Amino acid sequence: MGQTLSVRQLEAWYGSNKTLKGINMEVASNHVTAIIGPSGCGKSTFVRCINRMHETMPGTKVKGEIVLDGESIYDQDPVALRKMVGMVFQKPNPFPSMSIYENVVAGVRLNGMRNKQNLQGIAEKSLRMAALWDEVKDRLNYSGMSLSGGQQQRLCIARALAVEPSVLLMDEPASALDPIATTHIEELVRQLKEDYTILIVTHNMQQAARIADSTAFFLNGELVEHGATSEIFTNPNDKRTEDYITGRFG
Amino acid sequence: MSKKRILTTSMGDQTLRLLTLLMAVSVLVLMAWMGWQMFDAARLSIQKFGLSFITNRVWDPVKEQFGALPFIYGTLVTSLLALLLAAPIGLGVAIFLNEMAESKFRAVVGFLVEMLAAIPSVVYGLWGIFVLAPWLRETVEPGLAKWLGFIPLFQGTPVGFGMLAGGLILAVMILPTIAAISREVMAAVPNMQREAALALGATKWEMIRVAVLPYAKSGIMGGIMLGLGRALGETMAVTMVIGNRPDILPSLFAPAYSMAAVIANEFTEATYDLYLSALVEIGLILFGITLVLNFFARLLVWSVARGPKGGNVV
């Protein structure tokens, strides 16, 4: 099951550069929430704060509060948190020294699972959820790098799902992919929301309109507007949102 | 006009191609030529002793008895010892500097470690004579004999000058090579790989184990092999601390000799042709060992770097 997230007064810095200026936002469980906005608006930083990945970069700072299922994420060990909040990155990043199978179970193995039968079960289940099983079931021992870009990205999704998180963060997961691979990923996202709370960063507004239940528009480190996707795209409250979605800037 | 221009460019490229080809081939020719010259100069000894030169453990120029085994043994054992000590430490230094240290600290320590490589080997040798050997004789070797004396490697009189000293000094000398190269290849691991591991809930060490080391392993092994190459050929520092006795004793405390050291020490004393020829043959063997080890190292690097691409069984 997915879980709700509430973000309160979140501020984040890269060195002296303040990239998030007090974000307040509620993220519904089992919804796809799209984060849109022009480059440099802080949308990537925002999702990277949710699994505390932002802090792993040198010179960064975070203030504020993020509550996941009633508990502050800053009261938790980041390592434990990241098992509940999975992440898929902009570019597919399978581990090149591992086979497809090893890639999928990499996170589960880190958690101490050694039983081969269980691992195989998890691998199959995760690959099925990522809609990749049929394409790779006969060559699980091949390198993850032998797959196409779109398949690699679905492999990375399977790898994230295998750990059984409740929230899935996706940072422009289709931006490096061709249109057909993008369609696959989008379809997948729509299916996955049954089990997960999904936050997806995208610079592609059509993509947000196609897959997201709600959409948040970020600009210069601030959350301008957050609402049902249909509302945001047809009847935005803020002039800046309207200007952005009608293509006047960005 | 334009036709002429195209012609000149391609002429330039052709010249470049030829010139660089010549340079590339010259390295091969030089190596083959060196090998041949050494073989030629060692012919006398090769004809006289044959294969027994490698298996014979007696080296007695007075009686015209020449066997290279003690030197081969000394070189291999000290180099192996150096590798066993320097590889994990060098890797640890690289991991710390790359993945753990603050950037200011990283720059300073990284620079200092690399400075170790700039110290002339004769200076290492002096340090070995006046600091390392006495310390081994008075503190380390008696301690090892007391606690690990049941292993033949750590039995016998603590002399200070011997294989342990040789191995240790080589370890210090090859450490910067291994550390610097490992650090460089680890720095080349894309951050995406680290984040992939962290996002799965990896701890720092798990991230290093899952994402950094496998990605960098062929480069790290290359660095270790470069270190081994240096250890095999190192002459000055080793000869100053190894004890220079052509003998094969099980104890690491015992004095020994290395191939490079015997060539350097006895070359000027080689008063007759067979003696000189035997020394050259040792050089030839050292040359051969280095080539063979490098070949296997390449093979090893190639086989681990290949990964699971072709459908290897998990």
**Chain B nearest-CA residue for A84:** B201
Chain B interface, best mutation among A93, A102, A137, by max B CB count within 10 A = A93
Rg, chain B, Cα only: 24
Of A56, A101, A143, the CB nearest to B198: A56
d(CA B105, CA B115): 15
Both structure tokens of A32: 């796809």
Angstroms from B220 CA to nearest CA on chain A: 15
Angstroms from B198 CA to nearest CA on chain A: 8
Residues 6+ apart with CB under 8 A from A226: A25, A214, A215, A216, A217, A232
Q: Which residues of chain A does B198 touch, with a Cβ-Cβ cutoff of 8 Å?
A: 53, 56, 82
Query: Does residue A6 surpass a pLDDT of 50?
Result: yes
Angstroms from B194 CA to nearest CA on chain A: 10
pLDDT of residue B281: 95
**pLDDT (tens digit per residue) in B92-114:** 999 999 998 888 888 898 889 88
pLDDT of residue B312: 38
Q: Which of the two residues, B2 and B141, has the higher pLDDT score?
A: B141
pLDDT of residue B313: 32
Fold of B47-306: MetI-like fold (1.10.3720)
Query: Does residue B183 surpass a pLDDT of 80?
Result: yes
CA angle A198, A165, A128 (to 5 degrees): 80
Average pLDDT of the segment spanning A72-98: 93
pLDDT of residue B258: 95
Residues 6+ apart with CB under 8 A from B207: B99, B194, B197, B198
Query: Does residue B223 surpass a pLDDT of 70?
Result: yes
pLDDT of residue B265: 94
Local confidence band at B237 (pLDDT 50, 70, 90 cut-offs): very high
CA atoms within 13 A on the CB side of B15: 6
Identify the three-state secondary structure at position B174: helix
**Chain B nearest-CA residue for A78:** B201
Local confidence band at A111 (pLDDT 50, 70, 90 cut-offs): confident
pLDDT of residue A229: 94
Mean pLDDT of chain B: 90
Write the CA distances from A153 to A65, A90, A159, A193, B68, integer angstroms.
31, 9, 10, 18, 59
Predicted-complex ipTM score: 0.91
Question: Do residue A141 and residue B215 have CB atoms under 8 angstroms apart?
Answer: no
Contact between A84 and A168 (Cβ < 8 Å):
no
Query: Does residue B242 surpass a pLDDT of 90?
Result: yes
pLDDT of residue B7: 60
Average pLDDT of the segment spanning B185-211: 94
Query: Does residue B304 surpass a pLDDT of 80?
Result: no
Question: Do residue B195 and residue A110 have CB atoms under 8 angstroms apart?
Answer: no
d(CA B118, CA B176): 9
d(CA B188, CA B193): 11
Quickly list DSSP for B151-173.
Answer: SGGG-S---SSSHHHHHHHHHHH
Domain-wise residue ranges, chain B: 47-306
pLDDT of residue B9: 62
pLDDT of residue B8: 59
Query: Does residue B218 surpass a pLDDT of 90?
Result: no
Mean pLDDT of chain A: 92
Of A81, A95, A110, the CB nearest to B193: A95
Question: Do residue A97 and residue B200 have CB atoms under 8 angstroms apart?
Answer: no
Chain A contacts to B (CB-CB under 8 A): 51, 53, 56, 58, 79-83, 86-87, 89, 91, 93-99, 101-102, 106-107, 110-111, 139-143, 145-146, 156, 159-160, 163
**pLDDT (tens digit per residue) in A157-205:** 999 999 999 999 999 999 888 888 899 889 999 989 999 999 999 988 8
Query: Does residue B207 surpass a pLDDT of 80?
Result: yes
pLDDT of residue B40: 95
Query: Among the listed ranges B170-174, B236-240, B243-247, B305-309, which one has the minimum average pLDDT value?
Result: B305-309
d(CA B239, CA B261): 5
Query: Does residue B314 surpass a pLDDT of 60?
Result: no
d(CA A57, CA A78): 14
Q: Which residues of chain B does A145 touch, with a Cβ-Cβ cutoff of 8 Å?
A: 307, 309
Query: Does an H or E element contain A9, and which?
Result: strand A5-14
Q: Which residues of chain B does A143 touch, with a Cβ-Cβ cutoff of 8 Å?
A: 307-309
Q: Which residues of A151-173 are buried (b: 16+ CB within 10 A; e: fewer)?
A: bbbbbbbbbbbbbbbbbbbbbbb
pLDDT of residue B311: 41
Contact between A104 and B223 (Cβ < 8 Å):
no
Angstroms from A44 CA to nearest CA on chain B: 14
Query: Does residue B208 surpass a pLDDT of 90?
Result: yes
pLDDT of residue B5: 58
Contact between A185 and A177 (Cβ < 8 Å):
yes
Average pLDDT of the segment spanning A109-136: 91
Q: Which residues of chain A does B208 touch, with a Cβ-Cβ cutoff of 8 Å?
A: none
With a pLDDT cut of 70, the percent of chain B lying above it is 94
Angstroms from A164 CA to nearest CA on chain B: 10
Average pLDDT of the segment spanning B14-25: 93
Query: Does residue A10 surpass a pLDDT of 70?
Result: yes
pLDDT of residue A1: 65
Question: Do residue B308 and residue A143 have CB atoms under 8 angstroms apart?
Answer: yes
Local confidence band at B157 (pLDDT 50, 70, 90 cut-offs): confident
Local confidence band at B264 (pLDDT 50, 70, 90 cut-offs): very high
d(CA B50, CA B106): 53
Identify the three-state secondary structure at position B94: helix
d(CA A171, CA A169): 7
Query: Among the listed ranges A90-104, A107-121, A208-222, B297-311, which one has the minimum average pLDDT value?
Result: B297-311
**Chain B nearest-CA residue for A107:** B200
Q: Give strand pairing partners of A225.
A: A217
Report which of A107, A207, A204 is spatially closest to residue A165, judged by C-alpha positions: A107
Angstroms from A110 CA to nearest CA on chain B: 7
Query: How many CB atoms are closer than 10 A to CB B25?
Result: 10
Question: Do residue B307 and residue A143 have CB atoms under 8 angstroms apart?
Answer: yes
Chain B contacts to A (CB-CB under 8 A): 102-103, 190, 192-193, 195-203, 206, 210-211, 214-215, 217, 307-314
